[in-house]
Chains A and B, each alone.
Chain A
């Protein structure tokens, strides 16, 4: 039996890549430079596409090839390029100014990851040795960790663009959960979700541009005129 036909090997490969996704996520939390952050997001999306591709190959889920391709093109290439262009266009300061400093942030990310494992444990069904659920254990934990850390990134950062990055990471976490739990959603849904993510990112980019023009700043803590 060839190695690439052995589902066990496939699972190990996927778990390895999922671990890399988590590492990148924590790197992003610790990273202070905006452009590096965007590139880290691109690498993370690239890994997700690889995971989708691997699942498609090992588990004979042909529609996943399509999903993998979409992820690669949209999240791996198109969105990061657009965001970098935006950074260049509005000439913002490169450094992210988080509310909490890097060591505290990494610690929080660690705690969130731990918490994610606790949640994933309760969802795990050991009785299913085959099928998508068997993948779930580690990958689901990573997915929830990425989701929670993305949430933390949004809370912790003041610049509009970095909040959008957090939102995109959050979306990546959901995507990982979807492909690891159920081999992804039905194709129509997956396509719709991609379309929405793309449009949302575009609209947010335009909005950031206009906020920048009007307020001469991307610091969202300045958006505080509306109260009560």
Chain B
């Protein structure tokens, strides 16, 4: 199966959704497309493991182990979100949430559902295009595509606050991405003398990476700074992270989960590609120091916001910011361990974060708000599945042993000491401890406690089964990672490891 299949599936699904217009077929189509995309991603992964890399149309689309890993993680998150979204939206519809605040194309729930099921595959398409596009320019177009496809998913509920969130998301994202575009132009310029020509291949990563040491260093340095600021905005690197809590808390839970996994991975992926070019051209020192600085700042800035947070959806957003910072930091530590730790963390995070957003979504639908104070605890009794799983997810995401994120965070720490950055590593541990306390206290306060007089009832089957499935995988992953995934992670880390 050629790579392009994985891009065609979501496009066709989106078009077909527009054609059917009825709720049930739209839902089944959505889930079927997600499953097909996941299978196609597995196929790309298998191909990469077999042949080292897969390409299509003269290398226009190209997947090496790094692309295949990001692709598989995104497709997995998408696969989990699809059935959950069906249950989540059905419940919204039956609660009457969907017909509030009139939507733009005719009022009512049906138009909203159609918007969701049409735009989400497009969003998925853009997220799949990022890792498989070989050309850095096309990659930029795809990252911008993820932003464009998701703006109206953020305004899904049409509340005042969601418009505000979407505006900040669009404007900050727009500025960030224009910086990334500038970085791409500069990278092209720095390579221009070496690769020459106006042909499309001159911006292909597979071509650039082999000759990066001959690039113009001054221009490359600027290119990396712009790419870091640009794709960093998309990844929520401090101080450009401010759109994240707003967008994550206003979007529907499955979209927030996709943004916290797929978009984050795509942005970090783009950043990592630029890191390799910069490190090969300038030596790893320059890029690494910048990454360590921004990574630490990001993890650090999440601490106070997590400690005093009053909304649990925003709490999860800050947890994502923190995890993005950990990955950037880890990439900055470099060596052989740094990239490995980053990619392992990305893998574990992409599986654990959706679980948290799903549970939070169920809780929000039950209580009708996401404030931490209003719920005086006791969710445990009302939501017998989602509430305990929320605690499990919180323990996992904060890196408590035996969960898998403990392993990757420990590896980050080791990478830090191996790189001789013991100060940064010590700060990192301090931040992690504070974040653990903050997150766990908030979530525990919400879940445990005496039985309230509220009604009882978890979501429907569609929205609880993905929670259970993910929880099983999260627990399992603490002890065992499938061999192909390990192989993919190892080989992808090899691509990112730049010897001094």
Cβ-closest chain B residue relative to A226: B246
CB within 8 Å for A147 and B182 given contacts A192-B141, A207-B166, A210-B163:
yes
Q: Would you call A200 and B185 a contact (CB within 8 A)?
A: no
Choose, from B192-200, B356-364, B398-406, B429-437, the stretch at the interface. Answer: B192-200
Q: Mark A185-202, 1 if CB is under 8 A from B, else 0.
A: 111110011011001100
Is B298's beta carbon under 8 Å from chain A? no
Decide if the interface of chain A is mainly helix, strand, loop or mixed. helix
Cβ-closest chain A residue relative to B169: A207
Q: Would you call B175 and A151 a contact (CB within 8 A)?
A: yes
Within 8 A of B (CB), among A117-171: 119, 122-123, 125, 128, 132-133, 147, 151, 154, 160, 163, 167, 170-171
Cβ distance A201 to chain B, nearest Cβ, rounded Å: 10
CB within 8 Å for A182 and B163 given contacts A147-B182, A192-B141:
no
Chain B residues, Cβ within 8 Å of A199: 148
Q: Would you call B166 and A181 a contact (CB within 8 A)?
A: no
Q: Mark B268-281, 1 if CB is under 8 A from A, else 0.
A: 00000000000000
Chain A residues, Cβ within 8 Å of B309: 228
CB within 8 Å for A196 and B164 given contacts A182-B192, A188-B200, A228-B308:
no
Chain A residues, Cβ within 8 Å of B441: none
Q: Would you call A63 and B198 a contact (CB within 8 A)?
A: yes
Cβ-closest chain A residue relative to B173: A200
Question: How many A residues, CB 8 Å from partner?
Answer: 49
Chain A residues, Cβ within 8 Å of B163: 207, 210-211, 214-215, 223
Tell me the complex Cα distance, A61–B197, Å: 10
Cβ-closest chain A residue relative to B185: A178
Q: Would you call A196 and B145 a contact (CB within 8 A)?
A: yes
Chain A residues, Cβ within 8 Å of B375: none
Is A106's beta carbon under 8 Å from chain B? no
CB within 8 Å for A186 and B181 given contacts A200-B148, A226-B161, A228-B309:
no
Q: Would you call B178 and A170 a contact (CB within 8 A)?
A: yes
Tell me the complex Cα distance, A207–B166, Å: 8
Cβ distance A217 to chain B, nearest Cβ, rounded Å: 12
Partner of B138, one of A151, A170, A188: A188
Residues of chain A at the chain B interface (Cβ within 8 Å): 61, 63, 119, 122-123, 125, 128, 132-133, 147, 151, 154, 160, 163, 167, 170-171, 174, 177-178, 181-189, 192-193, 195-196, 199-200, 203-204, 206-207, 210-211, 214-215, 220, 223-226, 228
| 14 pairs, A vs B, C-beta closer than 8 Å | A147-B178, A185-B184, A186-B198, A186-B202, A189-B137, A189-B141, A203-B151, A207-B166, A207-B167, A210-B163, A211-B163, A214-B163, A220-B167, A224-B164
Query: What 9 A-B pairs come out closest when comparing CB atoms?
Result: A189-B137, A192-B141, A223-B164, A186-B200, A181-B189, A226-B246, A196-B144, A178-B185, A167-B174
